[in-house]
Amino acid sequence: MRRILGILGIACFALVATLRAETIRLRTGAFLVGKVERVDENVLVFRRAGNGGVLELKWNELSSFDAKRLREKWSLLDPEAAGGVTLPALRVVFQRPGGIRTEVVGELVSNDGKTMVLRQKTHVYRVPVEAIREGPQNVQVPVEDLLTPDQYYQRKLEEMQPGEDADKNAKMADELIRVEDYQRAREHLQKAIALGGGKQPDLIQARLKRVETLLKNKVQADILRRISVLRNRKLFAKARKLVEEFAQRFPDSPLRAEFEKRKQLLEKARERFLIRRVTTDWFEVMNSETKKVAMDKSIDFQEAQAFAEEKLGQLIREKIAKKRGLDPAEVDALFKARKSIRGLRSRKASYGTGSFILGKEGVLKDTSVGKRLSKGKGKKAQGSNQAQRELQKRIRQYLRLMRNRQQGGGKAQALQSPEDWWKSTTSVRRQQWLIAYYAEHGGDLELLHPETRDCPECGARGFIEGLGLKGGNTVRLPCPVCHGTRFFRVLRFR
């Protein structure tokens, strides 16, 4: 009995220890249970609960959520935040007397319905609401464009109220480091040390050493700060020139580690920015170039089809490369990385009344309707062989009727060829067809969920009914719109 109680006690102790342990998730998806022993700007030291093993993990090995959570918990800087602090603001464009349009970006002070008061640093703008022509639009603005260093410091001082708390002073210093106000950051770090160093005295000492190094090398620190400001303003070409200048002027800089960090953050920000811009450009050029072809009456169907499949993708790359000052290969790589964009929306295009050009298999390929029909399910499924025989029968009936009418001097509506359809349809439908064909056959876009729409002419039956000349009997004729394919093909892509 005592033995059993002893085992239960050990089990309960282990359960309590596990409940108190920290659980972190790695970028690979694996979970670790244990205790965080130590952290710094580069690594997290973790002791596992099961075997007591000690792991030294880099921050980029943790999931983004847990990395952010633990850095905040241990009062560490966001590695991408230096020089990149933004604040919410309003953007308005209003018309001054005389017709001059003026743009103002600032913090909202007040709005009584007649006058909107905005503040930008020490400037106050009173904007008549009736004179606003664009906005107000919510935007994120670099802190240095909205507040003076003194204004930002006073705001943070009131918000955080560090007082005589070592940890709060350390946190205040972190906020000041983010905006590169190193002089005041040093004062708060020194105060934190004087108050005992708080929870992480070693980390505060390391932070102070870094700040003092930056202050001793003010010329270099100012260039690094300018790189961050330009990065935040998305002026990447100018920022890259400063990076080159710094590397040439200060090859043995004591701020080398700081420089490499800024350089890395610059390239990451530039890549994120360009991925979004190139993706937007891609679809804009796709739309404009397909519209040109669709409206050019001298281009026949085969030329347009070859353009969509073989030439459009390369043309898009060349135009974006010229616009953005990139080479086509870099444009291609950036567009392929578009899946990293959060909330990347899908787009839609339809072959419409030109779906028949694909043939029945092409219209139904990878669609839910096609899968049901291939399995012989659904109300309209009759088996592929039977459907083919029925369609062939209707075509024979149709051709026989045409011969009879031609012999009797009557007129019959012939099925359009692809070229006939291309010449007779609207430019909007031609453009939609080109976009759909490029999405499916160009090799650049990700095809999501092909769909079908019932042919409105025949109600997805594939035929229409008419009266024959002999005996007035009813005959079934292939639908002149879908040509017996029954459906229109619609694509979603991104």
- Contact between 166 and 182 under an 8 Å Cβ cutoff? The reply is no
CA-wise closest residue to 255 among 205, 216, 203:
216
Q: Quote the pLDDT of residue 298.
A: 93
Q: What percent of the chain has pLDDT over 70?
A: 83
User: Stretch 172-180: mean pLDDT, rounded?
Assistant: 86
Which pair of tokens denotes residue 353?
């009344």
User: Stretch 263-270: mean pLDDT, rounded?
Assistant: 90
Is residue 351 over pLDDT 90? yes
Over residues 58-71, the pLDDT tens digits come to 877 888 788 877 77
Residue 78 DSSP SS3: coil
Q: What is the mean pLDDT of the chain?
A: 82
Q: Where are the domains of the chain?
A: 15-73, 86-146, 269-344, 349-493
Task: Name the amino acid, one letter, at 25.
Answer: R
Task: Name the amino acid, one letter, at 476.
Answer: R
86-146, CATH topology level = SH3 type barrels. (2.30.30)
Is residue 82 over pLDDT 70? no
- Contact between 265 and 322 under an 8 Å Cβ cutoff? The reply is no
- The strand pair at 86-95 and 132-142 is best described as antiparallel
CA-wise closest residue to 61 among 18, 28, 17:
28
Residues 6+ apart with CB under 8 A from 364: 370, 373, 452, 485, 487, 489
15-73 CATH pick, 2.30.30.700, 3.40.630.10, 3.40.50.20, 1.10.600.10 = 2.30.30.700
CA-wise closest residue to 490 among 363, 328, 346:
363
Q: What radius of gyration do the chain's Cα atoms show?
A: 34
Residue 365 DSSP SS3: coil
122 CB-contact burial (10 Å; exposed 0-12 / middle 13-18 / buried 19+): exposed
Which pair of tokens denotes residue 242?
């400063």
Over residues 217-241, the pLDDT tens digits come to 888 888 988 898 888 888 999 999 9
Q: Do domains 15-73 and 86-146 have the same CATH topology?
A: yes
User: Residue 487: how many CB atoms within 10 A of its CB?
Assistant: 22
The CA-CA-CA angle for residues 197, 200, 201, to 5°, reads 40
Over residues 200-223, the pLDDT tens digits come to 888 888 888 888 888 888 888 889
User: What CA–CA distance (Å, rounded) separates 365 from 376?
Assistant: 15
